[in-house]
Amino acid sequence: MKDFYKNPVFYYILVPALLAIWPLSIAFYYLPNTKKSYEEEKKLYEEEAEPLMFDILELDQDRKLDDAPKDTGREFDFATAFALITSSAGITVNNYTFNTRAPITKEGRKIQTATIEIQKIEIQIFAEFLDKMQKRWANLECESINLDKLKGPPNEWKATVRFKYYF
């Protein structure tokens, strides 16, 4: 058996034959299975996910993110935005404070800034809050985030976020 590895047949015929199995298995086994799996996922998406997304959009028209003004006749308001998103993220009213500055016009665009300070929050809830804020309003920009670790439980933070909204 020791002489088997010294035999040139092993290196010139057997090794290339074994290496040829890899591309053949890709071409004849894995690639067709990938196409079949893609078709199944596409069918599942069309049957289940797509109708659900349209139902969500029908129930909550504000989820449509576009730069055009909404037909509600209301301008963006930080107080309303914070109240809506904090309540959906589970942040209580007495757990945050915010201040806004009067809108200014800069380079032909109207800009308003606000700073929200959340006294006690977990990282996951903060990430959810920030994600919802930025997904909900296309013209809202997060200018800065400051997270300070609080003494006590391991996942309690004080968060200060500065937002800028372009009208």
- Residues 108 and 41 grouped into a single domain: no
- Residues 109 and 158 grouped into a single domain: yes
- Residues 127 and 86 grouped into a single domain: yes
Range of the domain at 157: 75-166
Q: Across all residues in the chain, what is the average pLDDT? A: 85
- Residues 92 and 160 grouped into a single domain: yes
Q: How confident is the model at residue 154 (pLDDT cuts 50, 70, 90)?
A: confident
- The answer to whether residue 126 sits within a structural domain is yes
What's 34-88 look like in SS3? HHHHHHHHHHHHHHHHHHHHHHHHHHCHHHCCCCCCCCCCCCCCHHHHHHHHHHH
What integer pLDDT is reported at residue 74 of this predicted model? 58
Look up the pTM and report it: 0.54
Per-residue pLDDT tens over the stretch 106-115: 888 889 999 9
Name, in order, each residue with C-beta under 8 angstroms of 22's C-beta and a sequence gap of 6 or more: none
Show which of 11, 29, 58 is a domain's final residue: 58
- Residues 53 and 102 grouped into a single domain: no
Comparing 144 with 74, the larger pLDDT belongs to 144
- The answer to whether residue 64 sits within a structural domain is no
- The answer to whether residue 16 sits within a structural domain is yes
- Residues 107 and 30 grouped into a single domain: no
- Using alpha carbons, select from 91, 94, 92, 113 the residue that is nearest to residue 102: 113
- Residues 85 and 157 grouped into a single domain: yes
How many domains does the chain divide into?
2
Could you give the CA distance from residue 63 to residue 151 in angstroms, rounded to a whole number?
37
- Residues 79 and 161 grouped into a single domain: yes
Show which of 16, 32, 58 is a domain's final residue: 58
Please report where in the chains the tokens 């500065």 appear, as a residue: 162
Could you give the CA distance from residue 54 to residue 152 in angstroms, rounded to a whole number?
44
Buried b (16+ CB within 10 A) or exposed e, 116-154: bebeebeeebbebbbebbeebbeebeeeeeeeeeeeeee
What CATH number did the domain enclosing 158 receive?
A: 3.30.70.60
What integer pLDDT is reported at residue 114 of this predicted model? 94
Residue 79 amino acid letter: A
For the chain, give the percent of residues with pLDDT over 70.
89
Give me 68's structure tokens: 């055009």
- The answer to whether residue 66 sits within a structural domain is no
